[in-house]
Amino acid sequence: MTTREPGRPRTDRSPWNWLLVVPIVLPLLTFLFNSDEPRLLGFPLFYWLQIAFIAVGVTCTTIVYRMTK
Amino acid sequence: MSDHVTEIVVFTALFLAVSGMGFVAARWRRPDDLLSLHEWGLGGRSFGAWITWFLIGGDLYTAYTFVAVPALLFGAGAAGFFALPYTVITYPIVFLVMIRLWSVSHVHGLVTPADFVRLRFGSPTLALLVAITGIVATMPYIALQLVGIEAVLKTMGVSGSGLLSDLPLIIAFVILAAYTYQSGLRAPALIAFVKDILIYLVILVAVVYIPARLGGWPAIFGDAQAKFAATPAPGDGVLLNANNQLQYVTLALGSALALFLYPHSVTGVLASRNRDVIKRNMSALPAYSLLLALIALLGYMAIAAGVKPIGTDVNTVVPQLFDRMFPDWFAGVAFAAVGIGALVPAAIMSIAAANLFTRNIYREYVNRDATDVQEAKVSKLVSLVVKVGAVLFILLIDPQFSIDLQLIGGVIILQTLPSVALGLFTRWFHRGGLIAGWVAGMGAGLAMLYVIENPATKHAHFGGSAFPLAKLGLDTRMTVYAGFLALIVNLVVAALATLAARALGAPDGPDGTRPDQYTADEGDPRVKDLDLSSST
């Protein structure tokens, strides 16, 4: 992914890109998080799980960035 | 007013210090000549990862966000939290899109999204539509930054009614206009550092200190729940209900798709040095989303603290919360963070709108042979006009109207998605199809917004972005984001009209780009001739 063969055009195509689908789809599935229990540090699930999706987003985009660099 | 002297002094001192930075910014990373759009409007296209992170972060997470999102949670609860998923999904969505836009803009010296459309589809008309959409969507957004400053000024007791009481707001914007005029994009880029550090500081202190004073998070959520249970409104609560989940999801998705279509977002992206900077930022920018989540919850803290908005302006709840909870000097710092937070995006937005006017209206229709210097001069002047317009908006028209307009702005900017975002990947659409889709999407979007009423603000029309599906004759109380439906209309019409145009043999415009130009990077050869009309 990181190496570019001479003479071949640069491309953005990579199987790693599919990983980007995860943080796009997860936060849109309301049934996953639209609930009060279980609570974490006093936060209802609705809030802490959606905040946790930030970490999922960062992880996935970082992996794609590293693997396609 | 006398109770707020310390706050006013701290606020004014920080505000003036930052304004000074704005003027000095012209000398920062000084080019030989500031008089071209690449320098004035895009900071020399040379920003590295850190500057870009602060610049785009400061650009997207605006002062208005900081007061309006918690105000939404304060008023309606969970539905207002859509801002979080919205800013989580937007980066993976645009990850592969923005690098292509950067590359083709780098090769051809493009400055605005409409420049790209002009080159890609060979249609000045389509480019004009995209440019006008961008300008119209951005104007109320700039005005809303003033709403943020106004909320702070109100809380400090320096704003009321009458022209004289608006003076602080006018002074703030005159200062902003002056240093944007002088320093261009370098000014907000430099100020963004201070803005973000202040905001991070204030919010981190707020989320530790305020809950401790209010009895902890369970108590805060408990108070919010009790408040929503006591109101007659069916849609509020600390969780979503059966009728607003679709709205939540479509609003988050629609807003995420719209975010990087806004000209000011594109400006931030195009100012970066290379593709690596953009990619790295797409994984680092969500740090701001964490901040946004915490800011959003300030709305519940305000409920628990028993804050009442000043008059009917719910945007004052966060400043009021700070005023009540923090010692005076720190409340002053917090207010300065909001005030300065308004300056960065307002500057970038006015630059972006000015660039659109210069490149896609002035250059296309007034002076085809405009030199770099002429372009920069026109842009600088237009950036002033845009800001005067924004101030007049706020002073002469009910601020609520700007908020409605900004809602409309999100819906209409989405209508440029087929030509700008899809255009980066495919040339399948016919220019006539894209124009037809734009007209249909725009019409559908505005018609839907027009019939949305809002009993809470006593609006018979333009009362929000949640379109009740019952209006389409469906037997349901579910709502959906109007912009999302409008985009679907747009895409369907664009596709059908494209097929029709091909069947009729209607002439299509020339494509001025080559496939390899979408993956070009720093150091690759560029098309030296910046004239769009002759580069095809």
Q: Is A6 within the bounds of a domain?
A: no
Count of other CB atoms within 10 angstroms of residue B287 = 15
ipTM value: 0.88
B194: closest CA of chain A, how far (Å):
24
Of A12, A39, A61, the CB nearest to B91: A61
B245: chain A residues, CB-CB within 8 Å: 30, 34
Q: Chain-wide mean pLDDT for chain B?
A: 86
Instruction: Tell me the residue range of the domain where A50 lies.
Output: 15-67
Q: Is the pLDDT of residue B122 over 50?
A: yes
Share of residues in chain B with pLDDT > 70 (%): 95
H or E stretch covering B468: strand B466-468
What was the pLDDT predicted at B534?
Answer: 44
**For chains A and B, what is the number of CB pairs under 8 angstroms?**
114
The answer to whether A50 contacts B85, with C-beta atoms less than 8 Å apart, is yes
**Is it true that the peptide bond before A38 is cis, omega within 30 degrees of 0?**
yes
Structure tokens at A38: 């279980």
Give tens-digit pLDDT for B313-343. Answer: 788 888 889 988 999 899 889 988 888 888 8
Give tens-digit pLDDT for B10-44. Answer: 888 888 888 888 888 777 777 777 788 888 888 88
Q: Is A4 within the bounds of a domain?
A: no
Interatomic CA distance for residues B481 and B468, integer angstroms: 9
Q: Is A57 within the bounds of a domain?
A: yes
Q: Is A30 within the bounds of a domain?
A: yes
Question: For testing the chain B interface, which of A11, A47, A60 should be mutated: the one with the most B CBs within 10 Å?
Answer: A47
Name the residue ranges covered by the structural domains of chain B.
2-26+34-214+250-406
Of A27, A36, A43, the CB nearest to B85: A27
Residues sharing a CB contact under 8 Å with residue B503, sequence separation 6 or more, in sequence order: none
Q: In which band, very low, low, confident or very high, does the pLDDT at A18 lie, cut at 50, 70 and 90?
A: very high
B313: closest CA of chain A, how far (Å):
26
Q: Is the pLDDT of residue B170 over 70?
A: yes
Q: Which residue of chain B comes nearest to A58, CA vs CA?
A: B283
- Least confident range of B164-168, B190-194, B512-516: B164-168
The answer to whether A50 contacts B84, with C-beta atoms less than 8 Å apart, is yes
The answer to whether B239 contacts A35, with C-beta atoms less than 8 Å apart, is yes
Pick the CATH number of B2-26+34-214+250-406 from 3.90.1150.10, 1.20.1730.10, 2.40.100.10, 3.40.50.300: 1.20.1730.10
Q: Is A31 within the bounds of a domain?
A: yes
DSSP string, A33-66: H--SPSPBTTB-HHHHHHHHHHHHHHHHHHHHHH
What was the pLDDT predicted at B2?
Answer: 52
Domain count, chain A: 1
Q: Is A47 within the bounds of a domain?
A: yes
Structure tokens at B271: 């100012």
A30: chain B residues, CB-CB within 8 Å: 240, 245, 248-249
Name the DSSP class of B2: G
Q: Quick one: average pLDDT of B380-384?
A: 90
Give tens-digit pLDDT for B345-374. Answer: 888 999 999 999 999 999 889 888 888 888
Residue A41 burial (C-beta neighbours within 10 Å; 0-12, 13-18, 19+): exposed
Q: In which band, very low, low, confident or very high, does the pLDDT at B1 lie, cut at 50, 70 and 90?
A: very low
Of B220, B221, B240, the CB nearest to A34: B240
Give tens-digit pLDDT for B221-269. Answer: 999 999 988 887 777 888 988 888 888 999 999 999 999 999 999 998 9
Q: pTM for this structure?
A: 0.89
What was the pLDDT predicted at B37?
Answer: 84
B217: chain A residues, CB-CB within 8 Å: 41-43
A65: closest CA of chain B, how far (Å):
6
Interatomic CA distance for residues B157 and B169, integer angstroms: 13
Q: Is the pLDDT of residue B102 over 70?
A: yes
